[in-house]
Each structure stands twice: as structure tokens, then as C-alpha cells.
């Protein structure tokens, strides 16, 4: 039996990788993938806690999260395409019409 803390640490590492990727990466698609990585890190915590607590709730939440992530991906990719149409770039640094 793998202890709960291993899962939680892995999930925290995944989440942190997602955060780091979001902040560092300059390509919009990669940035978007980093968010998905964060969500998957959260999913892992849900499942780990559910196994620990011997309750099914956590498993079900993961399905909800996946559905929402899919909806988000659909809208997100549409937005990315609309940005590409007007700007012809996928680099976040060059999507900068709006500035301080």
C-alpha cells in the first residue's frame, strides 16, 4: 500500500509544474496545457483522498472536473483560434495590444 502522502506530494508537484509552466512558457497552447496539468494534479488529490477516506465522492468529483476541463478546452481553443486570426501569432508576449 502506497502511503497517502506520496500521492499528495506527487499531486502538489504536478500542480506546481502547471503553475510554473503557466508563468514561464510563452506559447499560448503550452500555457493552456499547463492549466490542464494543474487540474490533473488536483484530480490526483481527489482520488487519493477518496481512497484514504473510503468514500466514492472523490472519484465522482474527478469526473465533474474532467467534464468541466473538456468544456473549458473547447472554449479555450476557439478563443485561441480567434486570437490567431487577428494577430497571426501564438506568442503571449506579442499579444499585447492592451497595455498599461
Among 20, 29, 53, 66, binds another protein (CB under 8 A): 53
Triad 15, 61, 17: Cα angle to 5° = 5
What secondary structure, in 3-state letters, does the chain show? CCCHHHHHHHHHHHHHHHHHHHHHCCEHHHHHHHHHHHHHHHHHHHHHHHHHHCCCHHHHHHHHHHHHHHHHHHHHHHHHHHHHHHHCCCEHHHCCCCCC
Q: Which of 2, 5, 85, 93 binds another protein (CB under 8 A)?
A: 85
- Rounded to an integer, what distance in angstroms lies between the CA atom of residue 42 and that of residue 53? 16
Compute how many residues bind another protein; rule: CB under 8 A: 44
Q: Looking at beta carbons only, is 9 or 71 nearer to another protein?
A: 71
The answer to whether 14 contacts another protein (rule: CB under 8 A) is no
Q: How far is the CB of 1 from another protein (least distance, A)?
A: 17
Binding site for another protein (CB under 8 A): 8, 11, 15, 18, 22, 28, 31-32, 35, 38-39, 41-42, 45-46, 48-49, 52-53, 55, 57-58, 61, 64-65, 68, 71-72, 75-76, 78-80, 82-83, 85-87, 95-100
Amino acid at each position: 500500500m502506497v502511503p497517502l502522502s506520496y500521492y499528495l506530494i506527487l499531486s502538489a508537484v504536478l500542480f506546481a509544474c502547471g503553475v510554473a509552466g503557466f508563468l514561464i512558457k510563452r506559447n499560448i497552447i503550452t500555457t493552456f496545457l499547463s492549466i490542464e496539468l494543474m487540474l490533473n494534479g488536483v484530480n490526483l488529490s481527489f482520488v487519493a483522498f477518496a481512497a484514504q477516506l473510503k468514500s466514492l465522492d472523490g472519484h465522482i468529483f474527478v469526473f465533474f472536473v474532467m467534464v468541466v476541463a473538456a468544456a473549458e478546452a473547447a472554449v479555450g481553443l476557439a478563443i485561441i483560434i480567434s486570437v490567431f486570426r487577428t494577430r497571426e501569432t501564438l506568442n503571449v508576449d506579442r499579444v499585447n495590444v492592451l497595455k498599461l
